[in-house]
Amino acid sequence: MLNIAVLVSGGGTNLQALIDAEKNGIIKSGKIVKVISSVEGAYALTRAKNADIPACVVSRKSFQSSEDYDSAILKELDDCGADLVILAGFMSILGEGLIAKYRNKIINVHPSLIPSFCGKGFYGLRVHQHALDYGVKVTGATVHFVNEIPDAGAIILQKSVEILDGDTPEILQKRVMEQAEWKILPEAAELFCAGRLTVTDNKVTIK
């Protein structure tokens, strides 16, 4: 049973999907042992409390440098013995030192089919607005390992979602979460914890 730490910044809908997946036996090879929020008062902290998961706040604005912030995050990860780190709506950029220490042990979910609509500046509703502006007929979500380049780590899972007439960024965001993010993020977490993922040359093989 591996220890999972989840990093959050907002409402925690993806965190809730992970909590539910653990409760329902979808995640059976790992356990969420800590939730770390970059924002004081984030509703994700309430979700953690309701699920009896230890939680803490490591606010980015409380630290003058990114190195000091990373050190604080690392301390929390080390204290809980994290084997897997999941970024679930985490809005701070992790530094190279932290990423290096947890190489191929940090996963993130992005609300598009990478390499479309990803990279620096593509987050939240902006991703869905770009998809609608571009006129694509299909979007989706991607779970990938985190490396030093935003959204450029090895892809673990992807799931497509149809774009419908009349979609707004908000409507599309909700559909992508419900049909893709909340399904493939727990699935990827279980694959990792079960030891079924191998990374070679920035490509993932699933055993």
The residues annotated with a catalytic role in the active site are 110
- Do residues 128 and 113 touch, judged by C-beta distance below 8 A? no
10 Å CB burial of residue 134 (0-12, 13-18, 19+) is exposed
Which amino acid, one-letter code, is at 70?
Answer: D
Cis-peptide, bond into residue 115, ω within 30° of zero: yes
Q: How many CA atoms lie within 13 A of 40 on its CB side?
A: 4
Helix H or strand E encompassing 71? helix 66-79
Two structure tokens written together for 160: 């497509």
